Structure 1
Amino acid sequence: MKNIYIIRHCEAEGQEPEAPLTNNGQTQAVDVAAFFENRKIDRIISSPFKRAIQSIQPLANEINIEIETDQQLAERVLSSLIMPDWFVKLRATYDDFDLAYEGGETSREAANRILGVVDDVLKSDAEDTILVTHGGLISLLLNHYNKNFGFEQWRTLSNPDIYILKLDQHISLERIWEAEKDNL
């Protein structure tokens, strides 16, 4: 059986690649480490964005695992242009997975990036892997396994958020952050 933990980064100061975690986000990162206290982890793969790495650094330090970075887990680029109506434009990409804006990628292209990482993890020897990435990519991955997960569900993702994808004879996907974080 393979377990892939999918983590949305903690609260950050901005959207740019070098945006760090807020003070609250740093506290959340410690909470994420505590969440994994009794779970076996073989591998950690993160978006190269600073907020993603900082979200998992406390756990990596605690269990002495090096964080691998993978550009395939970087934030989705909706467009290279500033779009005041980006929210409406983003919603449209959930209705049409092949819709692209100038300088951006389609939902299908972004989904294929994270699915490629999942496929690589499935081919690896690691049984329990953490992927740390961004809400947009996570929502597209979740949509791959559950077609009811779309734009409205993306809006409900928290910072941080954690899902587990279990793969053996069957595939199961479950949000575990909300279910267990109150028990810390």
Structure 2
Amino acid sequence: MTTVYIIRHAEAEGNVYRRCHGQYDSLLTPRAYEQLPCLAKRFENVPLDAVYASDLFRARTTAKAVAETHGLTVEIRPVLREIDMGDWEDVPWAELPRLWPEEYAVWRARPWDAVPPHGESVMQAGRRMLDGVRGLVHENEGKSIAVVTHGSAIRGALTIAHGFAPEQMGEIGWGDNTCVAKFEFDGPDKLEVVYENDASHLPQQLSTFASIGWTDNKGVPTTPQIWFRRADPMDTADADKIVAFMRELHRNAYGTDANLDPDALLRDVERAQRMSPRSVTFGCLESGEEVALIYLKTFYDDEPDVGLVGGFCIDETYRGCGLSGQILGQAISVYRMLGRTYLCAHAAEKNARAQGFYHKFAFEQRGTYQDENGLHYRMFKKIGID
């Protein structure tokens, strides 16, 4: 008998930034690094002969936490990767129904049949991953191993392991980050699912599902999800909205907007968008209402590995609704594509709200910055993937 523990990776960017991350390589979140000791403790007294992981950062880093408690190293197997989401990779979930309405409708109604453009289905990913696990069973007959992989691949694999028809995939539900399934194999082909989607090692405050408002393992987040559209500085209505958001940001940060020059701001927006059309965008609700501004100074080149934030602003009505991670995710997406290693923001000395935002998302202060608005703390977050 060979025992295999199938483990979902700890909380990663896509889980909280509400972006479609399949084989897109992303980092873990601050909460993930609190989840990992709980997972490691769960396996502290569980015999393990080997630990395997997909080659994506979120999986191999999770696997390392399990392996280290046993003095093992992590063995990488790309076959254990997450579903390939094709053209949907790193697209906010809220944008999918706007850009691919027919394909996304199938994803929502018949996820076992859905194949993102140039990607693969959940069932194909599950079959690929499970075949990889069977290969590991062949290499480790009679032993006990841990395999760290990904949510959709696990869901598809569990559907197959139970002998369900693809359309019964909904009976599996979703497992929280770091959840565990236990498989017992009698040879590579005969297997029994002992348990699945077990995240009992996590206290409620470290549950990803709880943090994003999932009511059960088949639910959807109750927090609003936003999509992003280019803010056009040449369009009068858009220009007015850009200036209005930045006026609000200045008043919140400095108590006055006296030093805001609208014409200079709009010229800088044009400069930024020459580097990337996504550098200045509105975050929009399903209705199209603009509820946030993301302004990135992509023309900043004093530090070639740094992407500078010009401003984040959320409409007052929607603060505290879970949008902050989504606007941060947009900034990271833009600057990671531009090859930057760090995201930098200047938080005004007296702007406690902004400082709280950056501390929440694990930015670190490195020095200060002074301009006509006063003293700012330079806040940095690593976004490059090792």
TM-score, reference length from structure 1? 0.83
Deviation for aligned residue 1:158: 0.5
2:62 is the alignment partner of 1:55: yes
- Aligned partner of 2:96 in structure 1 is 84
2:195 is the alignment partner of 1:174: yes
**Count of residue correspondences:** 178
Q: For 1:157, which of 168, 172, 175 is the aligned residue?
A: 175
* Superposed counterparts of 1:122-133, under 5 Å: 122-125=137-140, 127-133=143-149
Q: Which moved more, 1:76-85 or 1:54-63?
A: 76-85
- Aligned partner of 2:156 in structure 1 is 140
SS of 1:103 mapped into structure 2: coil
Structure with the bigger RCO (C-alpha within 8 Å, sep 6+) is: 1
State the distance in 2 between where 1:21 and 1:42 align. 26
Q: Specify whether residues 179 and 139 from structure 1 end up closer, same or farther in structure 2 by C-alpha distance, changes over 3 A only.
A: same
Q: Which moved more, 1:42-51 or 1:17-26?
A: 17-26
Deviation for aligned residue 1:8: 0.6
Deviation for aligned residue 1:68: 1.1
SS of 1:84 mapped into structure 2: helix
SS of 1:139 mapped into structure 2: helix
State the distance in 1 between where 2:191 and 2:127 align. 21
SS of 2:59 mapped into structure 1: helix
Deviation for aligned residue 1:106: 3.0
CA deviations 1:97-148 (Å, max 9, x no partner) are xx53321113443222112212112211351111111100000110012227
SS of 1:93 mapped into structure 2: coil
Letter of the aligned partner of 1:177 in structure 2?
Answer: D
SS of 2:55 mapped into structure 1: coil
SS of 2:111 mapped into structure 1: helix
State the distance in 2 between where 1:112 and 1:9 align. 19
Q: Which has the higher strand share?
A: 2
* Superposed counterparts of 1:4-153, under 5 Å: 4-14=4-14, 15=21, 17-81=24-88, 84-85=96-97, 88-91=105-108, 92-94=110-112, 96=113, 99-125=114-140, 127-146=143-162, 147=164, 150-151=169-170, 153=172
Deviation for aligned residue 1:179: 4.9
CA contact (8 A) 1:29 1:54 kept: no
Deviation for aligned residue 1:66: 1.3
